[in-house]
Structure 1
Amino acid sequence: MSAIPLTARGAERLQTELHRLKTIERPDVIGSIAEARAQGDLSENAEYDAARERQAFVEGRIQELESTLSNAQIIDPSALNVEGKAVFGATVEIEDLESGERVTYQIVGDVEADIRANLISVSSPVARALIGKGEGDVVEVKAPAGIREYEVLGVSYL
């Protein structure tokens, strides 16, 4: 399996979720299964079936997180010599040249991308257009609605 790029903050978030699943969720679901088993006949026991389903989800997520973290390559953009250019992990402020709308994104790995938190995947069209660009550069992004132009207002490495 190839390396999975993560920011330090993204890796920490995944470690926290893994710890919660192992120390809180897993014991809780085991307790739920034991309670449902104590109710008798398992063939018509909806609580038992629901607890087993939840257990399968929790165990699957634990495996997924462990795999991701074991193959993670933590990248610290502040340690790179990139001189104000947008790179993986960088936070980039851009302005839509048509609407004047400003937005700030952090370029992150696919695993930690969350558009609601302004974390965009390095493989997204916007991030691909921004990589290597610096303050004052104008980029074109091919979006479903057509080509959009953005000006890079600033690049920082948090």
Structure 2
Amino acid sequence: MPDQIISQEGYDKLKKELDDRLNVKRLEIASRIEAAKELGDLSENAEYAEAKNEQAFNDGRITELTTLLKNVTVVRNNHDKNKISMGSRVLAEVEGQTKEFTIVSFNEANPVEGKISNESPIGVAFLGKKKGDTIAVNTPRGQVVYKIIDIK
């Protein structure tokens, strides 16, 4: 699996989630399983079944996070403020409104917060562009035109 790129902030967030799942959540689930065992017959014990399902999900997420963190390259936010790159905050005019976007990895993307994946059509179109550039992006809603006002 080739390395994915991620910001230091995104890496730290995933690392914190992994640590929490290993050191807190795993113990909480084990405690719930033990408490459910004390209730008797495991074949009809909903609390036990639910805790075991949660344990399986948690263990799966731990494996996923461990693999992901081993296969990422952390990029520092020391980008050129004249050209859009990973971590850039971009002020753009779109459909008569000014919007701010931050270019992040797919793991950090959250369009509601203005965090756009570098792999999304908008992210790909923005990368390498400069202040004053106008770009057209094909989206599910049709073509959208962005004028880059500033790069932070």
TM-score of the aligned structures, taking structure 1 as reference length: 0.91
Q: 4+ runs of 1 displaced by more than 6 Å?
A: none
Paired with 2:125 and 2:63, the residues of 1 have a C-alpha distance of 33
For residue 119 of structure 2, give the secondary structure of its aligned residue in structure 1: coil
2:146 equivalent to 1:150:
yes
CA RMSD after TM alignment: 1.2
Deviations 1:95-117 (A, max 9, x none): 11xx3111111111111111122
Contact 2:135 2:146 in 1 (8 A): yes
Paired with 1:21 and 1:50, the residues of 2 have a C-alpha distance of 17
Structure 1 letter corresponding to 2:141? A
The aligned residue for residue 104 of structure 2 is 108
Deviations 1:46-83 (A, max 9, x none): 000000011011111111111111111001131x5x45
Structure 1: tracts of 5 or more residues without a match: none
Structure 2 letter corresponding to 1:20? D
Task: Write the mapping of 1:61-140 to structure 2, written as runs, cut at 5 A.
Answer: 61-78=61-78, 80=79, 82=80, 84-96=82-94, 99-140=95-136
Moved more, 113-122 or 52-61: 113-122
Paired with 1:27 and 1:49, the residues of 2 have a C-alpha distance of 17
Structure 2 letter corresponding to 1:32? R
Aligned length: 152
Deviations 1:14-73 (A, max 9, x none): 111111111211100000000111111110000000000110111111111111111110
For residue 86 of structure 2, give the secondary structure of its aligned residue in structure 1: coil
